[in-house]
Structure 1
Amino acid sequence: MVKMIDLQQSRNEIDRIDKQIVSLFEERMEIAKDVAAYKIKTGKKVLDKERENEKLRVLQAMASNDFNKHGITELFTQIMSMSRKYQYGLMSAGEQELPLKEIESLHRDKKMKVVCFGVKGSYTEQAMEEYFNTDIECFYAPTFKEIMEVIKIGEADYGVLPIENTSTGGIADIYDLLVEYDNYIIGEHVVKVQQALLGLPEAKLEDIKKVYSHPQALMQCSKFLESHHHMSPIEWLSTSDSAKKVQEDQDITQGAIASVRAAKCYKLKVLKESINHENTNSTRFIIITKKKEFIKNANKISICFELPHESGSLYNMLSHFIYNNLNMTKIESRPLEGHAFEYRFFVDFTGNLKEPSVKNALLGIQEEAIGFRILGNYHMV
């Protein structure tokens, strides 16, 4: 006859053991405080991967079976991770120079120069005017890279670039350029995008054979284009530049996907309004500068980092946000050039560079990541 297990007795035993574990954990954290003090004094890095790996091998050897070996590995990996986070907290509590300088507000005046992607009549121009107002000196550049270059050499104080659309996601080229150039995000602005099919004043819908636009706009209107088989989509520099091309070429078979604003600017006819398939279609624009600044009370931070190509590295990195109770709003990955199936990660999260929890998280990420960089601290729309 099988003896019945006393469930309550087993639970009492687990409670007794858990109490001991809690006591031992707190004792371990007290010793970690001494370790942190030593590392602060000597400038030694918190993460000692070789030491941690050796310790895991020793602990695994103490386990009685394979299941427990895996469990011990997972348990102590987390304990050591918590110990590091505790040490980062102690280190970040000291006086630290901020990576970006805090300013009261963005100084707007007629001397300010702003460079805008595309040509007149673009959604980027609309974002620029709504963010800065129209009483500024502005000019246009045809490519994302040229915007970055103009900012870098100081020909403009600020630049306006699209970075993400609600229908088509992030714009990969922008993420790559944020790494390539030492420019910073100081603001963002969201514009509701209502794409339209534009043509010459005498054109009809059935006349259009070629439709020019930026790749993002073509994707946003892909269902419309698929339902009009006589139209061939052709990638162009920007939506507004596509409208400009139609106006300049004076070819009745050419159409452009752009804004109603662009139609008015280039005296074109709106053949069909609201052709994007998502009604909530919006684009997020970033304001960039080469100045290492952030506006007071900014509440959103963008960073990027690379990781070792090993199991659990991304999980360990994201745990810094969880531990510090920071809300991550976006994560994007881009392949690393010359490294097959390895990636650079871009993360947006809520916070301000002066907050202790943010300092703690960034210190931990900077210590444990490869190629860490702060891209900006700005006001979330």
Structure 2
Amino acid sequence: MKDLEQCRKEIDEIDQQLIRLFEQRMKVSKDVVTYKLAHDMEIFQPQREKAVIKKNADRVVDKELVEYACDFIQDVMDIGKSYQATFIPSKDSYKLAKSKIEDIKVGYAGVPGAFAHQALHEYFGDVKNVNYEHFQDVYEALKNDEIDYGIVPLENSSTGAINDNYDLVRDYDFYIVGEHSVNITQHLLGIKGTSLEEIKYVYSHPQGIQQSSKFLKQFPDIRPQSFSNTAAAAKFVSENKNKQFAAIASKIAADLYDLEVIKENIHNQETNNTRFIIFGKQLEDHEKTDRVSIVFTLQHKAGALYSILKVIKDHQINLSRIESRPLKDKHWQYYFYIDFEGSLHDDNVKLALEQLKTNCLTLRVLGNYRHA
């Protein structure tokens, strides 16, 4: 058995060789990124990375060490990519447009009295607006220049993400330019003079039904019915004038459609908020921006997401949200959405984004805006 001091001496000698080789490798890594930038090449080339790992794995004599050797080479390459990112020019990488503030038209999904309609007025004030039946209709309207901005719900504090809008904002290549949080209060609305005992069907958006699930469980004879949104459900009940029908919606909708509030505040949580995003065609600059949103894809391998989280941690950036959504053409693989604190005016954030790109198959900045 070797003496411990002898082992330490040998390791120190090996480390000296490793450090010399490490410095050589990093210098060559700098040459690589310089060449790629000069020839407008992709910095991250996953197939080349796989080939390097396999080539080195085949060189290992002790086959029990192959797995460890692969991890070692991967770590070395990850460090090299982080170093390469520091040479990628970040100045003017993101062309930030000024937001339109005059003569704007905003689209939302639902009918007057919907929570999106409320959010629109609270965020923009008195502006031209137009309502559409479905979320995707709002995106199509912006695509066709019928509106300047769209506003849609992205998540609720008690029921979570509204996945359709995560997918749509990505699919249409639009940008988040702002956000607004609305305090959601759900009420049971019906034709004037209706008693709770008369109600057989209750209409609302699936989120409204889910947010009021504890109340509805007390009345198993009332059948929940999904509707396009809460205000549209209130309008439907008003137009049908049937005391067996009720809606879960806001008091604004009750006033707007001449309905009676049969039961107030039937939502599960006392604090129930919905976060709305405002989206447009350009990545915009705003005063005091403090939130960045990105969407990215990764190699389907162990540790891929960890490499992203490590970059964020190393740059001391506070991660505020992460969501995943399935890739439509690849089973069990995902897009990832991340919100983090920061601004595209911050050099540390821009450097972090360049390093993130070297670990991603694709990465797109979705927004640079002020957190509500």
Does structure 2 conserve the Cα–Cα contact (< 8 Å) formed by 1:244 and 1:266? yes
Structure 2 gaps, min length 5: none
Structure 1 residue 288 displacement after superposition = 1.4
Amino acid at match of 2:142: I
Does structure 2 conserve the Cα–Cα contact (< 8 Å) formed by 1:102 and 1:295? no
Structure 1 residue 198 displacement after superposition = 1.0
Distance 1:57 1:115, change over 3 A: closer
1:122 lines up with 2:114 in the alignment: yes
The aligned counterpart of 1:322 is: 313
Structure 1 residue 122 displacement after superposition = 1.6
Query: How do 1:329-348 residues align onto structure 2 when only pairs under 5 Å count?
Result: 329-348=320-339
The aligned counterpart of 2:68 is: 71
Does structure 1 conserve the Cα–Cα contact (< 8 Å) formed by 2:211 and 2:268? yes
Name which of structure 1's ranges 316-325 and 292-301 shifts more when overlaid on structure 2.
316-325
Query: How do 1:157-176 residues align onto structure 2 when only pairs under 5 Å count?
Result: 157-176=148-167
Does structure 2 conserve the Cα–Cα contact (< 8 Å) formed by 1:102 and 1:296? no
TM-score by length of 2: 0.89
Q: Deviations over 1:83-130 (max 9, x none)?
A: 11110121135x4442x4243xx4544x22122221121211221111
Distance 1:12 1:195, change over 3 A: farther
Amino acid at match of 1:161: V
The aligned counterpart of 1:81 is: 78
Query: Following the alignment from structure 1 to structure 2, what is the Cα–Cα distance between the partners of residues 320 and 351?
Result: 14
Work out the number of aligned pairs and report it.
372
Distance 1:62 1:371, change over 3 A: closer
1:216 lines up with 2:211 in the alignment: no
Distance 1:206 1:40, change over 3 A: same
The aligned counterpart of 1:132 is: 124
Query: Following the alignment from structure 2 to structure 1, what is the Cα–Cα distance between the partners of residues 16 and 264?
Result: 67
Structure 1 residue 26 displacement after superposition = 4.6
Q: Deviations over 1:185-238 (max 9, x none)?
A: 110001111111111110111111101000111111122212211110000011
Helix, strand or coil: the match of 2:88?
Answer: helix
Structure 1 gaps, min length 5: none
Query: Following the alignment from structure 2 to structure 1, what is the Cα–Cα distance between the partners of residues 332 and 15?
Result: 42
The aligned counterpart of 1:247 is: 238
Structure 1 residue 239 displacement after superposition = 0.5
Helix, strand or coil: the match of 2:146?
Answer: coil
Does structure 2 conserve the Cα–Cα contact (< 8 Å) formed by 1:151 and 1:183? no
Amino acid at match of 1:343: Y
Structure 1 residue corresponding to 2:36, chosen from 39, 56, 63: 39
Helix, strand or coil: the match of 2:233?
Answer: helix
Does structure 1 conserve the Cα–Cα contact (< 8 Å) formed by 2:176 and 2:283? no
Distance 1:86 1:22, change over 3 A: same
Query: Following the alignment from structure 1 to structure 2, what is the Cα–Cα distance between the partners of residues 283 and 164?
Result: 6
Amino acid at match of 1:69: V
Does structure 2 conserve the Cα–Cα contact (< 8 Å) formed by 1:306 and 1:371? yes
The aligned counterpart of 1:287 is: 278
Structure 1 residue 367 displacement after superposition = 5.0
Structure 1 residue 5 displacement after superposition = 7.7
The aligned counterpart of 1:351 is: 342
TM-score by length of 1: 0.87
Structure 1 residue 254 displacement after superposition = 0.7
Q: Give % identity.
A: 37
Structure 2 residue corresponding to 1:183, chosen from 154, 170, 174: 174
Distance 1:227 1:65, change over 3 A: farther
Query: Following the alignment from structure 2 to structure 1, what is the Cα–Cα distance between the partners of residues 149 and 257?
Result: 26
The aligned counterpart of 2:147 is: 156
Query: Following the alignment from structure 2 to structure 1, what is the Cα–Cα distance between the partners of residues 2 and 282?
Result: 72
1:300 lines up with 2:297 in the alignment: no
Query: Following the alignment from structure 1 to structure 2, what is the Cα–Cα distance between the partners of residues 90 and 154?
Result: 39
Q: Deviations over 1:286-305 (max 9, x none)?
A: 11122342324322122222
Distance 1:19 1:258, change over 3 A: farther
Name which of structure 1's ranges 81-90 and 269-278 shifts more when overlaid on structure 2.
269-278
Structure 1 residue 245 displacement after superposition = 1.0
Distance 1:144 1:11, change over 3 A: same
Amino acid at match of 1:49: P
1:230 lines up with 2:183 in the alignment: no
Distance 1:63 1:354, change over 3 A: same
Query: Following the alignment from structure 1 to structure 2, what is the Cα–Cα distance between the partners of residues 203 and 11?
Result: 85
Q: Deviations over 1:147-197 (max 9, x none)?
A: 111112122212211111111111111112112223221100011111111
Query: Following the alignment from structure 2 to structure 1, what is the Cα–Cα distance between the partners of residues 80 and 205?
Result: 49
Distance 1:48 1:341, change over 3 A: closer
Structure 1 residue 136 displacement after superposition = 1.5
Amino acid at match of 1:311: A
The aligned counterpart of 1:90 is: 87
Structure 1 residue 376 displacement after superposition = 1.7
Does structure 2 conserve the Cα–Cα contact (< 8 Å) formed by 1:353 and 1:377? yes
Structure 1 residue 247 displacement after superposition = 0.9
